[in-house]
Amino acid sequence: MQKNICSRKAHRTVSNALKDQQRSRNPSIISIVLFSVTFFIWVFFGFISSGLVFCRLHSLLSSIIRSAGAFFPFFFLFITMDAGSFNSPSKSQSRNPLQEQLLQRRNSRENFDRFIPNRSAMDFDFAHYMLTEGRKGKENPLASSPAKEAYQKQLAEVFNMNRTRILAFKNKPPTPVELVPHEMSSFLPQSKPIKPRRHIPQSSEKTLDAPDILDDFYLNLLDWGSSNVLSIALGNTLYLWDATDGSTTELMTIDDENGPITSVRWAPDGRHIAIGLNNADVQLWDTVANRKLRTLQGGHRARVGSLDWNNHILTTGAMDGLIINNDVRVRSHIIETYRGHHREVCGLKWSASGQQLASGGNDNLLYIWDRSVASSNSPTQWLHRLEDHTAAVKALAWCPFQGNLLASGGGGGDRCIKFWNTHTGACLNSVDTGSQVCSLLWNTNERELLSSHGFTQNQLTLWKYPSMVKIAELTGHTSRVLFMAQSPDGCTVASAAADETLRFWNVFGNPEVAKPTSKTNSEPFSNINRIR
């Protein structure tokens, strides 16, 4: 009996436990399904949590899941372990520094999306006033008066309402970081200031009459001395024009039997001048004493059309094709004779060093003579014989900043300016000017070259060296510009043309520093009185 009672109690206990277990199993299955759906929603929003709204929703779901995990520890453990793969900062930060920078930048308040305004920098009261009260005066101009407008303007200034910016979409830019400290900036190389472009007047400064000037391409009738006196031969008379005071004097006149004058050249001292004549003689004059010192004879058999000085040596070139070096200090003045040209020598120029002589002739030839070669026993006297020109070579100019650079110009059949390396004899460049090249002058202050021309424009052209780009073209002469001369300071150029005018051009500008004139052997005629 007692055993039956115990078995019944045990059966009841077991049945009650089974019922309780069945009751508890049904809600646990429902809860698991519910939280599984929530988990997948949480994971989905976790992947797209870069937006501001989704971040808040993601954090809300995370808090709900964690609070529910108190009742389901296993599920909470699973969720937190899974969420740790996304939110654990220690492992992810240590493995990927780039992600750390992105997270810090995302959480910083100092960096905003460019489409989202900074509300803390906005003035909504002022914006509301501008949208409502501020437009009333403009919509109803009759209600406003000058006194009211002045009062409103003063009120706006007092309350700082004279602003036009209402919305602020970003903070102020950060202060730029100096790459180089201010203390070290003084040690850095300073860039050179850009030199302003020089103004070149297009018209001549002064124009003088030059009647009876010979229209002859092969002569040299104009020169400017170191004492700032210009000499010009007009027919049988040589005139001197003082550029300092503008005075003009007549130095000498030759008779018709021996004239006209075919060439003039100042000595380096600026006092003595050599005058070549049509009868093959060369006269030396003292312009200060206004007297003739001597006459050089016996060297040439035709007119002397070109002259140049090398200290006390006067070099003459004539129509007979000869080039003669004359030492004016001695009685027997002929010391050297160069033979190469077979027609008239119309151009002579010594280099600045006095070692090389360039000569051009009507035979279209250009010669480079070297004193060491000419005085030796070599089979030829010349250093180079250049045949590139196709017309008479009269215009010659040595470069002032490169001793072995020579510029030469050809006549009407050639029309070219050529540049030569006189050490090697190589032609460096050739430029077709389109017209007869009568004369050439280098700018002593800049890398520029000036050329004078004949038909058709009769112009002076300024070139940039070495590009040979035209800088300016100066017109005014109505006939070919046969002769040019440069002032001692290198600024002004005088041009004489077949139109019987003498024009002065300020083409080379003003020099930055005045260069002293050469004082070597300033008195080449110191022994002239001993000559009988």
Q: CB neighbours of 493 closer than 8 A, spacing ≥ 6?
A: 441, 450, 460, 484, 485, 486, 487, 504, 505, 507, 508
Alpha helices in 369-481 (DSSP H): 371-374
Q: For residue 239, give the nearest of 270, 273, 216 by alpha carbon.
A: 273
Query: How far apart are alpha carbons 406 and 384 in whole angstroms?
Result: 13
What is the pLDDT of the chain when averaged over all its residues? Answer: 79
Sequence-separated (6 or more) residues with CB below 8 Å from residue 74: none
At 5 the pLDDT is 47
User: What's the pLDDT score for residue 315?
Assistant: 98
Higher pLDDT, 204 or 13: 204
Quote the tokens at residue 88.
């654990």
Residue 211 neighbours by CB under 8 Å, 6+ apart: 234, 500
Q: Band the pLDDT of 519: cuts 50, 70, 90.
A: very low
pLDDT band at 414 (very low <50, low <70, confident <90, very high): very high
34 has a pLDDT exceeding 50? yes
Residue 520 is classified by DSSP as T
Encoding tokens for residue 236?
Answer: 């049988």
Beta strands 222-224 and 229-234, pairing class: antiparallel
The CA distance from 340 to 405, in Å, is 22
Q: Which one has a higher pLDDT value, 364 or 171?
A: 364
Helices then strands, each counted (H, E), the chain = 9, 28
**CB distance 511 to 445 below 8 Å:** yes
pLDDT, position 150? 77
Instruction: Return the higher-pLDDT residue of 524 and 254.
Output: 254
pLDDT tens for 442-494 read: 999 899 999 999 988 899 999 999 999 999 999 999 999 999 999 999 999 99
- Rounded Cα–Cα distance for residues 419 and 428 (Å): 5
The contacts of residue 328 (CB under 8 Å, 6+ apart) are: 284, 294, 296, 312, 313, 314, 524, 525, 528
pLDDT for residue 373: 83
* Cβ–Cβ < 8 Å for 29, 37: no
Q: What are the tens digits of pLDDT across the range 355-412?
A: 999 999 999 999 999 988 876 667 788 999 999 999 999 999 999 999 999 999 999 9
Opening angle at CA 400, ends 502 and 422, nearest 5: 110
Determine the pLDDT at residue 399.
Answer: 97
Pick the more confident residue, 446 or 519. 446
Strand partners, 283: 275, 295
Instruction: Specify the amino acid at residue 299.
Output: G
Q: The tokens of 219 are what?
A: 């002569």
| pLDDT value for 67 | 54
In terms of pLDDT, which residue wins out, 401 or 526? 401
- Six token digits for residue 407: 């510029």
Separation CA 29–CA 25 (nearest Å): 6
pTM: 0.63
Amino acid 510: pLDDT: 76
